[in-house]
Structure formats: C-alpha cells, structure tokens
Amino acid sequence: MNKQIVLGIVFVTLTGSAFANQLHDKVSAMKESGRRTFTSLLVRQSGAECPAVQRTFFQGMLEKNAVWNVSCGTKNNYGIVFYDDEANTTRVMTCPALKELGAPNCFKKF
C-alpha cells in the first residue's frame, strides 16, 4: 500500500473521532426516553425550572457545537449547547437567549 493512501486512511480515521463532538454523539445515540431523562437533569442542574422534559429536538450545529432544544410542557423551553471540548461542557439557556447567539427559534432546524 502506498504511503499517501495510508496517510489518507489515518487522516479520515482521526477526523471522524478526534474532532467529533463526543457528548453530542452520545446524546444522539440515546433513545428519546433516555435523552429526555439526561436533558432534564442538565436543565435542573442549571437551576432552570423544568419538572420533566416532554420532547427533545436536535436543532443543528453552531460552529462545532451541537444545539438541542427541550420542551418542558407548559413551562419554558430551553436550548442546550453541547460544546465541542474535552470537558463536555454544556450550557442551558432559554430559547430567546439562544436566539441572541444566532440560532433560529427553538424547534426549527438551522
């Protein structure tokens, strides 16, 4: 096998894993019920009021960061940003605050 092909395979392998948003990938792989439980925990830990997440929605990527929306029923809806970093940083914010970052309204794809 020539050297260029081997380097190409190594590069493709690295770009597929080393540069992926790992927490987003894990959340995407969850069933909806698991996503609701996980995102509900994140929202409550942020201090926001959300008795139970009713629905999750992957809104899209903002640069390398994944943006998910959660509906808390009759309460507020929130955006959760999953940052592409080694610490798996997340940020929970209201949908209007998320829109100020350049995202469209919650529950609408980028």
Give the pLDDT of residue 13. Answer: 33
Give the pLDDT of residue 76. Answer: 87
Domain map (residue ranges) of the chain: 21-100
Give the pLDDT of residue 51. Answer: 87
**Alpha-carbon distances of 95 from 47, 54, 55, 86, 106, rounded to whole Å:** 15, 16, 14, 25, 6
Please determine, for residue 33, whether its predicted confidence score (pLDDT) is greater than 60. yes
Give the pLDDT of residue 12. Answer: 34
Tens of pLDDT along 40-86?
999 999 999 898 999 999 999 988 999 999 999 876 899 999 999 99
pTM above 0.75, yes or no: yes
